[in-house]
Structure 1
């Protein structure tokens, strides 16, 4: 029976176009230097380590507001949520500790030393084997912690710059990014034995596992690339170019794509995990440090170290509206400013270089 006359009109107009694009739905302010994010989709909470506030902030994912703040050690960079125990773990870089919090009450449960002058800057989690792994950047080691007893159970040798750690739970293998050694340390998460060294590009800053695609991703912050490796063989597959200083990543629950935080550009690159191509970019806050997906809503949560905010993006798998081809500052008059000469101390002004070409270098300590 023909029913073409009764079909509803096809959606069109601005509202329809908006539904085919990602959208920033909220950007709550958290504090100074938010870095890593952990998500509890069922409990409707996100937990963010604010490195410059020495605190963890819990955010209600539905009301999109902070609900509590808890003090931890100095400069917490990563945060891990262990769902079976309902505990949060932070690596406190300048306190040489791992702080443990109750995820529901914010109460401090323990503070575990990982070694003098270790500068712990990365965490890995093996929930099946009940282990937390801490990458000690200055010491070049990995501290293994029993997630239930909250006790150190071993130390694994890595290399200088040991930090971000990803775990392949199926094979019982951990991968530690050694930033200053341009390498990955592969270790057995059960026996705590180092297995092999994989050479990667300079400045590996973050590693994540895609268990669905059976791939490992390594963000190279110095050259703006992400290297894809096979988890089965450890061999490189290809290299994806992204924007400036990629430092954080996460994988979609279905494994079809992964998201890369470009700290130097204020964007997130969305990468097709099958083809290894960038499909689009999402504009977020300043200095995005890390990201996670809220599996219940599908939203992307991005911690912005430079803005002190958490960007919440709806439908992140979709491209957005077209952006202007040039930066908003192009064509605008340069504001006048004065700075002391680094060599002589004499105050120099922009007027001295009027109508001339010159380079301004802004140095970032991170």
Structure 2
């Protein structure tokens, strides 16, 4: 959803498109062609660009939200799925299921700047509110990988339940220096 809450986007895997939906009316106002099998979406904090992971074409589409067009396509690892943007908008991270990696994309250069090895079958992904960590669910490994974004290295691997498919980061309210207020 855009920062103003007026527009949301829907990935349509079967048609290789993204639908643009006006929230006030619930109507589709546009359809944007992207790569093959769009799976997950991430909007930059300023709302100017939408990043779309394309599972079957092994790339990430960059959509110019103002123009409603795909402005670029960035090759990434095999079968990109979960995707997230750092809060400063400088990097996009995408979980590559088939390569067991996370691709880090520079939004300025529109290119992969590093490929980070994680557990088997990474699919879900979330970026911490401060942008310092990326959390990745690894379906085949039954683990969660924690990536330090300053070093591009996995700092922790946590065994979780069988077949994890998603990650969400809760923002703590009323926490001061690691303690609840």
TM-score by length of 1: 0.46
Candidates 189, 206, 209, aligned match of 2:85: 209
Q: What is the aligned length?
A: 175
Matches within 5 A, 1:149-228: 149-170=25-46, 172-212=48-88, 214-228=90-104
* Structure showing the higher helix proportion among its residues: 1
Conserved 8 A contact 2:74-2:112: no
- Counterpart CA distance in 1 for 2:150 and 2:83 is 18
Per-residue deviation, 1:214? 1.7
- Structure 2 residue aligned with 1:134: 10
Q: Which runs of 5+ in 1 are unaligned?
A: 1-124, 299-314, 316-366
Q: Is the 8 A contact 2:101 2:115 kept in 1?
A: yes
Give me the CA root mean square deviation: 1.8
Which has the larger share of strand? 2
| C-alpha spacing 1:233/1:211, structure 2 compared with 1 (3 Å) | farther
**CA contact 2:2–2:47 (8 Å) conserved in 1:** no
Query: C-alpha displacement at 1:283, in angstroms?
Result: 1.7
Give CA deviations for 1:306-339 in whole Å, capped at 9, x if unaligned. xxxxxxxxx9xxxxxxxxxxxxxxxxxxxxxxxx
Match of 1:8 in 2: none
SS in 1 for 2:28: strand
Q: Cα distance 1:232–1:128, how it changes in 2: closer, same or farther (>3 A)?
A: farther
* TM-score (structure 2 length as normaliser): 0.90
Would the aligned equivalents of 1:133 and 1:145 in 2 still touch at CA under 8 Å?
yes
Q: Distance in 1 between matches of 2:48 and 2:95?
A: 22
CA gap of 1:194–1:213, structure 2 versus 1, over 3 A, is: closer
Name the SS of the counterpart of 2:168 in structure 1.
strand
Correspondence for 1:240: 116
Shift of residue 212, structure 1, vs aligned partner = 2.9
Quote the Cα distance in structure 2 between the aligned partners of 1:294 and 1:175. Answer: 22
- What secondary structure sits across from 2:56 in the alignment? helix
* Structure 2 residues not aligned, in runs of 5+: none
For residue 77 of structure 2, give the secondary structure of its aligned residue in structure 1. coil
Q: Decide which structure has the larger Cα Rg and report it.
A: 1
What is the rounded CA distance, in whole Å, between the counterparts of 1:159 and 1:239 in structure 2? 21
TM-aligned CA deviation for residue 190 of structure 1: 2.5
1:287 to 163, 175, 179: 163
